[in-house]
A and B are shown apart, each in its own frame.
Chain A
Amino acid sequence: MILPLLFLAGTVSPGPVPNELLATDLAPLVKVTQEDITEAVQAAIDEFDKTFSAWVTKIRAAEGEEERDALFDVRPTADEAVKKLFPLIETEPASEGAFLGLKWIATRAPAAPENKARALSLLAEHHIESEELKDIAMGATRGSIEMVPALGMIVKNSPHREVRGCAMLAMGILQVQDPESRKEGEKMLELVVAEYADIKVYGDRYEIGTMASGELYEARNLQIGMTVPEIAAEDIDGVDFKLSDYRGKVILLDFWGDW
């Protein structure tokens, strides 16, 4: 029924079908679907949160390490919920409910990397105007290499400079961690340092230029198999010493604090 009506709606002359019919037949269909999505998405998130907190409660109540380890092996994932949500979201991917669901899948939901990447692609395709993609891109810095194509779309198409900068940072971080795309990742991070360094994230506490520089330093100097960079500074009593003073010994270098 929908297709012929849509076809008629698009033609110059409505022909034999009266306008009243178009309005009454089409409107409820669209409206109900969007509401359905919002409702289903909210229900799925609530349901998952409930399952997850039940699991956390069990972990807290667990007696002994063995029981705790066993529980960690059955950590709830959101993949079942996600599988049900995708077909629904894809009927109206540009709707508000779809956005809510896609954001949840791409960021908070513990779902398989390919599901998170798919959600991010749909966001890039249907919600490219959203400024919320900034936070979503920052979430992707802890994501997986599968997210890189979607981040690339965001970098290319977002109208917001802050969104583009953060998507570049996420792309760079994910790429430098993967031996096959390390060089591209370094280039991306250099671009962040050169052109987007001033963008503030995490409640304005960090600038992405500093973050990108740190990632570049780590990629170039702190990988397994590399000779450790020198540290020369004072100790807690104010006496200077160097990491290389301990060459010849195995060193456990421990960044710690007594909090």
Chain B
Amino acid sequence: MYPHERSLVSEYASRPFAIIGVNSDKDREVLKERILEESITWRSFWNGGSTNGPISTTWNVSGWPTLYLIDHQGVIRHKGLRGEELETALKELVPEAEEALKKSGR
């Protein structure tokens, strides 16, 4: 996952797009080292140190990774997209967000 995510981050660097993680690792300190090693630049919520933490339990997450794609208005647009399908969806949604930004800027 990391290489793909890194490439999305750089591809959409100056555009209205963000990866937000919900991380379920056990040990924060170990994770912080891994984040440096893997150049993980996106921010993550801390799921309490477990895959059974409060956020993933509320969200009924049973498989990892689980992905949601949310548009600029906060509407869930896709669940579980990967690879090329994810790229295609972003090509539609990011311009929508830019369009909305332009309109509100006027």
Contact = CB atoms under 8 A, between A and B. Distances in A.
A256 B55 CA distance: 12
A214 B56 CA distance: 9
A254 interface: yes
Contacts, number: 158
Interface residues of B, number: 58
A243 B45 CA distance: 9
Contact of A249 (B18, B24, B31, B86): B18
B74 A252 contact: no
Q: Is the interface of B mostly helix, strand, loop or mixed?
A: mixed
Given A225-B75, A228-B68, A231-B55, A252 B46 contact: no
Given A234-B46, A255-B65, A250 B59 contact: no
Nearest to B32: A236
Q: Which of A222, A251, A255 has the most CB of B within 10 A?
A: A255
B25 A258 contact: yes
Given A217-B58, A253-B22, A223 B35 contact: no
Interface of B: 1, 5, 8, 16-25, 28, 31-32, 34-35, 38, 42-47, 51, 54-61, 64-79, 86, 90, 93-94, 96-97, 100-101
A235 B78 CA distance: 24
Contacts of B61: 255
Interface string A201-214: 00000000010001
A7 interface: no
Contacts of A258: 23, 25, 31, 34, 38
A233 interface: yes
A255 B64 contact: yes
B71 to A, nearest CB: 6
Interface string A229-259: 1010111111001011011111111111111
Given A214-B60, A249-B97, A256 B1 contact: yes
B91 to A, nearest CB: 11
Given A226-B76, A244-B74, A249-B17, A254 B5 contact: yes
B18 A251 contact: yes
A227 interface: yes
Contacts of B31: 236, 258
B94 A228 contact: no
A231 B90 CA distance: 22
Nearest to A239: B43
Given A226-B76, A236-B35, A253 B67 contact: yes
A250 B68 contact: no
